[in-house]
Each structure stands twice: as structure tokens, then as C-alpha cells.
Structure 1
């Protein structure tokens, strides 16, 4: 039986590591989004089901705001522990950004509950700006 090409050998060796790293990163994303949903005073999922655009915009911004630095961490990390540590930092910083925007706007959860898209848009902008900075700092 002929020996597989170096490309096939590299794929066979790297694919399990790829799956592990992606699985850990997606798990962090899901856990971080769940933690965010539990820690914010308004109930995004309920509001979204009721057609609240501000809540959908806010939660969408959270997901992208978490995914950008997590993807940079995935790219720059060499092992699962690094991915986990940087994932935890990402979650903490994004939760702090929510609090900061809440302090600036006063009553952010209420504004989102009331469907105020402008407040949600500012929150999304703050989250994305922070995400890009975190991603650059990590890479």
C-alpha cells in the first residue's frame, strides 16, 4: 500500500486538533452568550420573540462582539488552555462594556425593553469596537 501524500498525513494529524479547538471556541461562545443573557436585567430571548428589534440588535451585537476576539484567540492560540483563558477575558470585558454603556445612557436595559433601537445601536457599536481592539491585542 502506498504511503499517503504529506498533505494527507498533515490533514490526518491536524484535523482532530482543529475539531477540538473549534469545539472549545464555539462552546465558549455559547456559554458566554448564555452568561450574558443571564446577567443582563432584560430578557433578550423573550423580547426578541415578541418582535423587539432593539433586543435582537443588542444580542446580535453580543454574538459578533464575542466571536471576533474569540476568532483571533483561536488563530493565535497554540492550545485549548490559551483559548479558554482568552475566551474568559473576552467575556469579562464585553460584560464590562455593557455596564459602561449602561452608565453612559442610564437605563440601557429599560431602553432596550422599550425597543429603543438607538440605544441598542450604540451598545452594538461599543461591543464591536471593543471586539476589534481585543482581537488586535490578542493577535
Structure 2
């Protein structure tokens, strides 16, 4: 029975880190959908696969480095700081892609799945690279 109770020793820390992570995720999504000129959730509700690819890639591209921040941080404040850095990097990645491919947002609105997949994959790739850089 002692082993079972010992398993819950860090449960309070788990809940705190999870709560802060979810707040950061919500903040990321809120900021991302305001930065992009196309209405992701409306487009997704209408069945626009390009918008789903794009937003899903951005979310995964944020969550992966956020997970690295949880794993490698020394405390909750450190994790939150690196989470905000992950957020900024992901928003910057979108802006760079938009500069390189000026039609990407219009193409996603039109349902161009290739453009949505490209944007989502780029966000995911940037997120993986970002997470790897946090493992210093």
C-alpha cells in the first residue's frame, strides 16, 4: 500500500504544471488565431482541411517545445518563461512563412490543402527544432 501512496507524491506538482501548460496553450491559440488573417475555427467547422492542417501543425509546433520546457525547466517560473519563448518562436515562424509565401493565408481560406499542410508542417518542424534547442 505504501508504494501506491508514494506514486502520488508528485501529483500536486503535476496538476500545477498541467494547469500552467494549459493556460499557455490557450494563450497561444488565442494569439495565433488573432495574428492569422483567416478565421481558422470557422473554416475548420466548414470542413476546410487546409485550415485544419495549418492550425493543428501550429498547435503541435507549440506543444512539443512546451513539453520540453516542462521536462527541462528547473522550476515553474522557468517553465513558464520557456513556454512564452516557444509561443513567440511559433508566432515568428508564421510571420516568416507569410513573408516568404504571401498568398498562404488566402490559399488556406480557399481550401488549398497543400498550403495548409506546408504551413502546418513548417510550424511542426520549427517546434521540434525549438524543443531540441531547449535541451541544453
Task: Give TM-score scaled by structure 1 length.
Answer: 0.90
Contact 1:111–1:119 (8 Å) recurs in 2? yes
Contact 1:105–1:119 (8 Å) recurs in 2? no
Counterpart-to-counterpart distance in 1, 2:30 and 2:6: 36
2:38 — aligned with what?
Answer: 42
What SS does the aligned partner of 1:95 have?
helix
- The alpha carbon displacement at 1:22 in A equals 1.4
- Select 1:119's aligned residue among 115, 119, 124: 115
Counterpart-to-counterpart distance in 2, 1:56 and 1:13: 39
Q: Which runs of 4+ in 1 moved over 2 A?
A: 7-13
1:62 — aligned with what?
Answer: 58
Counterpart-to-counterpart distance in 2, 1:123 and 1:98: 8
**2:12 aligned with 1:16:** yes
Long gaps (5+) in structure 1: none
**2:103 aligned with 1:136:** no
What does residue range 23-102 of structure 1 map to in structure 2 within 5 Å? 23-102=19-98
Paired positions, count: 135
Counterpart-to-counterpart distance in 2, 1:116 and 1:100: 19
What SS does the aligned partner of 1:13 have?
coil
- The alpha carbon displacement at 1:78 in A equals 2.5
- The alpha carbon displacement at 1:60 in A equals 0.7
Larger Rg, first or second structure (1 or 2): 1
Long gaps (5+) in structure 2: none
- The alpha carbon displacement at 1:36 in A equals 0.4
What CA deviation, in whole Å up to 9, does each residue of 1:69-123 have, x standing for no partner?
A: 0011111112211111111111111111111111111122111101111111111
